[in-house]
Structure 1
Amino acid sequence: MPPEAKTQTLPVAALIVAAGRGLRAGGETPKQYRELAGRPVLRHALAPFLAEAAVGSIITVIGPGDDERYAQSVGGLSATKLMMPVIGGETRQDSVRRGLQALAAEDFDGIVLIHDAARPFVSADLIGRALAAAHSGLAAIPTLAVTDTIKRIDGEGCVVETPPRDQLVSVQTPQAFHFQPLLAAHEAAAASGLAGFTDDAALMEWAGHPVATFPGDARNVKLTHPQDFMTAAARLEGQLTTRVGTGYDVHAFTEGDHVWLGGVRIRHSQGVKAHSDGDVALHALTDALLGTLAEGDIGTHFPPSDAQWRGASSDRFLAFAAGRIAARGGRIDHLDLTIVCEAPKVGPHRDAIRARIAEIAGIGLDRVAIKATTSERMGFTGRGEGLAALATATVRLPEQE
C-alpha cells in the first residue's frame, strides 16, 4: 500500500491547548474563556474541529482550577468527540505533552492536530490543508510569508543582522503530526530536561525530523493583546446571521375592568380569559423571538397546565425569550407589533407600551414599533369578542456549531 494511502486511513485527533493565563490580553479571565459575540473564545476555536468529519476525537488541555470555566464553555456541544479535559503544566510544552499522554492512554495512534485555543478563527479549509499535508510527512505547519523587514538585535537593542525576508515565515496552528514521533520527541525532551520550545514543530526539528509547510490563513489570528479582542469582536459582528420570527396571540373578553397590553395595564370595561395575565402583545412577541431560535413556542416553555403560570405577569415570558437570544450570542434588531381590537384604544398608550417592551427586551426604544388597527367590525375582534396581536422579530445570531 502506498504510504499516502495508508496515512489516509489513520484516525485523527485534535489537541486544543487552553492552559495559558493570557495576561497580555488584559482582564482577570484567561483569554480563552473571554466572550466574543456571546461565546467563549475556546468555543469558537473548538467549533471547526467538531464540524470536521475526519476528526474523531478532541482533547483540550486546560489550566489548574479552570474545570468550571471549561464546562461552561463547552456546555451543549457534542459529547461524542470531546474527551475529558487534561490539566496542563507550567509551560505550553508541558501542557501538550500531558495531552499527548492522555491520548496515548486511550491507545490513540494516528494524526494529531495541535491548535491554540486563542485562535478562534480557524477555518475548515485550513484544517483540510493540515490533514492533506500530514499525508506527505511526519510533521507539517501552516505558515505565512513575512511582509515586514525583520531585524535580529543584541542584548542592548542594537541591530546585529537583517535576515533575508524571503527565507522567513510566521507560523500558525493547527500543526499536523504523526502521533508516535511527536510523543517520542516530547518524552525525549522532557527526559533531557529541555524546555522552552515554543511550538511542537521545534520539538520535531530538535528530534531530527523534517517539518514541511503549507499555506496558512491570514484570518487565523491569535488573540494576544486587548486590541485583538476589539478587532475580533467587530469581525464576529459581521458574521451574525439574520433571522426573522413571527408570533400571533388572541384572547377572548370576559368580565373585568382592565386588560394588559405590552406590559401596560389599561382600563377597560372587560378583562380577558387567560391562564396568565392575558397580554396578547407580549405573548405574540415572545413567540416571535422563540421562532427566531427555532425553540418552540410560549406553550412549550410556559405550559398552561402548569399552575405556577396562573395569573403570571407576561413580562417574564418576553424577558425569558430575550434572554435566550442573549445566551446564544444574538442581538435583537427590531420588534414590530400590531394590535387588533375595536377597544380599548391603543393610541393613547402607544408610547408607554413601546417603552415597556424596550425595557423588558433590553433594547433601544427606536427598535420597537407599535401599530393598532380594527377589523372593520368583521370577525370576533370586529364584534368586540376579544383582541389579537401579531408580532415580527428580527434578530442576528452567530452560526451554530
Structure 2
Amino acid sequence: MSDRTEFLHPDFEPGEFDRIERELRRSLTQESGRMRPTDRLDTILHEAHRAGPVTATGGTGMRRWLAPAAAAAVVAAIAGGVWLSNQDPTATPGPPAGSPSATVPAPTATGPSVTDQPTTAPTQTSSPTTSPNSGPGVVMTFPAYFVGPVGGSTPTYKLFREFIRQEVAADPTPADKVTVALTLAMNAQPYSNTDGYLQPWSGTTVTAATVANDVIEVRLSGPGAEGFTPEVQRLAVQQLVWTAEAAVGRGPLPVRFEIEGGATKLFGSISTDQSFTRPSADESWKDLAPIWVTAPSRDQVLPSASPVTVKGEASVFEATVGWELTRGTTSVKTGNAMATIGAPSRGTYSFSLGTLAPGTYTVKVYEASAKDGSIAAEDSVTFTVK
C-alpha cells in the first residue's frame, strides 16, 4: 500500500493523509496525556512567528497539517492558563444563589443596631431622587422613621419605625444608603390612610448626602411643609436624624442639614446652624412612640402549624402592656404582658398567641391609662395565617 493510499487503511482515522501525520497524531496523543498546563502562549507565538507565515503550498512555511497542531497547542496553553487562574486560593467566593437580601440594621434606643428585624417588609416602588452608583441592582431593607399618632383621645405624635425593601445599585456607599433611606422616610403617603402618619416633608427631596467619620451632611430641596406645630416640626427633623443614623449604622453620628436656595431654617423655625442627633437611651421617649409592635411585621404571612409570637418595644408605666387579637370585628383573644423595664426607660416585650386557624388577624398592643383605664398609647399590626 503506497503512502498516498495508506490513509484508506481501517486503522487510520478520518482526515489522516499519510503515515507521518499518523505518527505525529500518536505522539501528540501520548504527550498530551503527560501535559501539565502552564502559561506558554508567548513562547508558542514567538516560535510560530520565527518559523514564518503559514502557507498552503510549501515554501518556507509550515505544512498545512502543522497549522491545526499549532492552533491546538495555543488553545491548550490558553486553557491551561485559564484553569490555573481559576484556582486562586485567595479568591473570595460569591454569595450562593438565592442568598438573603442585604439589610441595613436600624438603631434602637440602647445601641446602634437591631437584631430583631422582621422577615418581611413592605416595598416602595418610588425611585430615590438621587440614585446610588450604577450597576446591577440588589434589594436592601431600610429602617425608615415616620411621625405618627400614638393613640388616645389627645392627639400626640411620636416616631414609628417601618422596615422598607428597596432595590438599589450594587455596593451602595454610606451616602447612597442615607439618600435612599431618607427618600423613603420622607414619603409617608403609603401609610397615611392606614396609620395616620403625617407628611411634613411633602414636596421636599434629598438632593445630596455625604458621610464622613464624624458627621452626616444632608442637602434638602426645601425647608419642609407648612402648617405643623412646633413639636411636629421637631419630630420631623428627628425623623430624618434617626433614619440617616440607622442607614449608616454607626450609632448617634451627628447630622447637619443644608437647604438649597439659601434658606437657613427648617420649617422656617429650626436653624440649620447646628448638628442634630438622637437622644440618649434614657431619653428616647422624647422621640419614639411608647409602643412598637416589631413582630409579626406588617402584612406578614405565617404558617398555621407554628405558634405566633408577638414582639415589640415599650416605654410604659410599670412596664405593663395589654393586648387584643381580632379577626375582622371579632375579638379572638386578650391578655397582658410585661416589658423588661418600665418608663421612662425603653424595654422589650414578647408573648405568644398560640397556633391560629388560617385567616387574617390584627394584634393591638396598648397602654391603659392609670387614671381611667382608657387607651393612652397603642400600636397594631395586621398579619395572615395560612
More relative contact order in 1 or in 2 (CA 8 Å, sep 6+)? Answer: 1
**Which interval holds the TM-score relative to the shorter structure?**
under 0.3
Which has more radius of gyration? Answer: 2
Higher helix share: 1
